[in-house]
Structure 1
Amino acid sequence: MSTTTETGTAIVLGGSIGGLLAARVLSDAYAKVTVFDRDLLPTADADRRGVPQSIHSHGLLARGLQVLEELFPGLIADLTARGAVPVDVQRDCLWVNDGHRVPRVTSGMAGLCVSRRALEGYVRERVRALPNVDLRDGCEAVGLIADADGGRVVGARILPRGGVPEHHDADLVVDATGRGNRGSTWLAELGYQPPVSDRVDPGTVYVSREYRRTPGETDFAAFISGPSPETPYGGVAISAEGDRWMVTLLGVGPGQDPPVDPDGYLAFAGRLPAPELHALLSRAEPLGPPRRLRLPTSVRRRYEHLTRLPEGFLAVADALCSFNPAYGQGMTVAAAEAMVLRDCLRQGRTGLPRRFFAAAAKVVDVPWDMAVGADLRYPTVVGPRSRRTRFLNAYVARLHVAAARHAVVGRRFLGVANLMTPPPALFAPGIVARVLWSGRRTAPTVAPAEARVEELSVR
């Protein structure tokens, strides 16, 4: 139950997952919430121009699923009834990290295999049903409105499709306009210093294709074979509603792009260190042509470092920090930021931007450091490599060897990767001992039957 009184109005600029989650939380604190999106929003599950990545495989981490179920009770059951596939993250998914398989045992971490279009469509449906939330599509945000002394944002300028700009007043404006947002520019127009941005170009190319899925044809619901510096290519297959496989092949660095022709696509899958994906694609019926996407630069905007901020303005999701999609963190971090916003609002509205950005930075720190550290393993990725980064990458490389031999190590790694467990847990004495005992990095891959299955608790 909300402890706030529903007064005032809030505007959310952007109607993707991040904006919808912000609107859900704001609906508990404001009498009226309006979400503006420049796209014409589909009434059913469908791809749209503003989310070009929706055609590619998406991962909702276990922590993200927890938060979504809390914000929208019944979400898991409803999406499962619509064809999504509930999974245990370790038992039902085939993970291959640096060529080493993670033993498939029950972890207790719940996951859900579902397409981005179906998940976003369901969340939009639930938000649209809230009595104090209005979704307006075909409306592009073009600027902010400040009060006379410029100390507070009091609204937004909105351009309806085919119309003229409109002024919409609000007590709070939330920028959820995604990677291409202009929030920093809008603040500069009001006389504020824009936030400094950290940027990393992962140099990664996706090529995705959908296939027909026959339930029970494999003993896994998802296949994830990540790239490594030695083999800078990978592949993912995620079960999805409609008895489909959503398959994405990816390459990191020059000369590693997956082909877009069907024969080349299949041959590329055959290069992966685990043969299961190639075998699956060899017999599955394609449902469309391969489609290509070069992953954009990851950007973290450091609003928390600004010494001067206007009241009445926030940025969330990709407008605050956009991640390398290869690690599946974006939607989960957006969900975590929504919970931060909820907690900040429960403490009152005074000083909300500074409190929110400080708290959100702590949520972003871990996944950002994990993603950037992993990107910097590749010599083609530009960025500073501190001694700490080099040590962590070397340790994680050895941890993957240990994870193939000790189910408990695999479970701990997946807990951290799914944002369920803090990273220091990877350095618990029992984990470090297994990493050291696994010896130097050896040739992949340990067969599943050879892995040691232990109790999934260790200090």
Structure 2
Amino acid sequence: MPRNGHAVVLGAWIAGLLAARVLTDSHDRVTVIERDRIPAADDPRRGVPQGGHTHGLMPRGAHAVDQLLPGVLDELTRAGAVPVEPLVDIRAVIGGRRLLRTPIGAAAVQATRPFLERHIRERVRTLSGVELLAGCDVVGLLADGTGTRITGVRVLRRDAGSAVESVPAELVVDATGRASRTPVWLEALGFDRPVEDRPRIDLGYASRHLRLAPGADVEASVMVGAVPGNARGMAFNAVEGGLRLLTLAGIGRANHPPADDEGFLEFAAAVAPPDVAAAIRAAEPTSGITHYRFPAYQRRHYRRLRRFPDGLLVAGDAVCSFNPIYAQGMTVAAVEALELRRCLADGRAGLARRYFAAVDRIVHRAWQMSLGSDLALPEVAGKRTLGIRLMNAYMARLLVLAERDPVVARQFGRVIGLLDAPTALTRPAILRRVLSARGEPAPGRNAIGPATAGDVSQVSP
């Protein structure tokens, strides 16, 4: 791969750290610029307000991270992260159906977001040529005289008396999340802003760490999805330190979990299976209750721009952020990093065009799964195309079969884990099993979970 001089990554979150790892293969120096101060302990950071809630690497994401940082999954496990095989170690109740326990041939990784981030950050910082500048605001881009090539960034350190500094770079990757300023910077340079899709879901969720009582017997993860008429769900995951992280969620203000201790427990009891609810009530809280509100999806269509400056790319949530309950964000960021590596290996010519085309394919798959599933809930506003309605009706039948058919359950689990495309659920072998199955889904049991293949490209925000 041809070598370049200096690359700058904006944001030391998962997407930025993995992008920095990739850039070490093609650049002599990589500087990661982060707005927050890096905490000494595994504490959530201000710039990651959802950091105290349930996170995990889906099977596809875990594999991608281990490709980029060989051996890191073993390191995470030795340090306390919990590897789980979906549908074996996880009790999954989707659309009111408990999926059959059956192996899917890959493992996910459960841990808190700060824990995962710290271990990945420490691995990346040991790489040759990598520098992390924390406590710095990026206040703008540098461009050449034509305004068509980005040549670096302008930064302001958060120290008293600091002045704006210029940081030259051959390539800048923006991984600053939903609040990315790239659209504003593009407009200032005379480029169009990307079109944005923002379908609203008004998701509220709350989380707390717990320690199970001695003798409690609960799977490493219990996931319960919402159903029409009851737009509430939960995730109860084993994480590092022998703790459990309980996240409760609901769509629509009336379904947001409460802040007080007793209300939190009552919400959990109304969503969790009875044995799990009993274990939660008997557990010892080891943290307060943290809250987060996710008003809308956000997708920026950089691929559609006819003009885009050379020397600039965008990654992670700065491109697209999904319903966080489906735990797709870190996995999508990891797969994007692999695509960045592939694109850089093919040279700099047309890099932005090739990269955004690859990212769009990755994002669209996850977007279809999560938003299409949310649109099975009447509580979520949005246009239901004929394709969405037909697919959700099909998924309702598939979920009935996934309670007892290992072939169907395994394929469903692989799609949820982002190992296979949603279209795998309509391959002839699966289609025949679903359409020939006896019995009908219970009234109102639509597919609620990240596994619909309907076309949601025309959803109204």
Distance 2:67 2:197 in 1: 32
CA contact (8 A) 2:228 2:444 kept: no
The offset of 1:106, in angstroms, is: 2.6
Distance 1:52 1:107 in 2: 32
Residue matched to 1:233: 232
Distance 2:428 2:275 in 1: 34
Distance 2:103 2:423 in 1: 22
CA contact (8 A) 1:46 1:121 kept: no
Residue matched to 1:343: 342
Residue matched to 1:149: 146
CA 1:206–1:384 in structure 2 vs 1: closer, same or farther (change >3 Å)? Answer: same
Residue matched to 2:379: 380
Distance 1:293 1:429 in 2: 41
CA shift digits 1:131-184 (9 cap, x unpaired): 211001001111111100111011111111031211111000111111111110
Distance 1:256 1:20 in 2: 35
- Whether 1:331 aligns to 2:327 is no
Give the match's secondary structure for 1:135.
Answer: strand
Superposition TM-score, scaled by structure 2 size: 0.93
- Whether 1:59 aligns to 2:56 is yes
Distance 2:280 2:56 in 1: 20
- Whether 1:252 aligns to 2:260 is no
The offset of 1:206, in angstroms, is: 0.3
Q: How does 1:307-322 map to 2 (within 5 A)?
A: 307-322=306-321
CA contact (8 A) 2:16 2:175 kept: yes
Distance 1:354 1:197 in 2: 18
Distance 2:24 2:213 in 1: 41
Match of 1:99 among 72, 75, 96: 96
CA 1:268–1:219 in structure 2 vs 1: closer, same or farther (change >3 Å)? Answer: closer
Amino acid at match of 1:202: I
Superposition TM-score, scaled by structure 1 size: 0.93
Unmatched 5+ stretches in structure 1: 446-459
Residue matched to 1:113: 110
CA contact (8 A) 1:185 1:194 kept: yes
CA contact (8 A) 1:213 1:239 kept: no
Distance 1:29 1:354 in 2: 18
CA 1:89–1:215 in structure 2 vs 1: closer, same or farther (change >3 Å)? Answer: farther
Distance 2:136 2:271 in 1: 44
Residue matched to 1:175: 174
Distance 1:205 1:407 in 2: 34
CA shift digits 1:350-393 (9 cap, x unpaired): 12111111111111111011111112222332322211111112
CA shift digits 1:103-137 (9 cap, x unpaired): 11233221111111110000000011112110010
Residue matched to 1:204: 203
CA contact (8 A) 1:151 1:310 kept: yes
The offset of 1:438, in angstroms, is: 4.1
Distance 1:273 1:100 in 2: 13
Give the number of equivalent residue pairs. 442
CA contact (8 A) 1:199 1:300 kept: yes
Query: Higher mean Cα deviation, 27-36 or 161-170?
Result: 161-170
Unmatched 5+ stretches in structure 2: 446-461
CA contact (8 A) 2:183 2:193 kept: yes
CA shift digits 1:410-440 (9 cap, x unpaired): 2111101111012121012332233231431
Q: How does 1:26-425 map to 2 (within 5 A)?
A: 26-162=23-159, 163-213=162-212, 217-272=216-271, 274-425=273-424
CA 1:405–1:444 in structure 2 vs 1: closer, same or farther (change >3 Å)? Answer: farther
CA contact (8 A) 1:240 1:246 kept: yes
Query: Higher mean Cα deviation, 275-284 or 322-331?
Result: 275-284
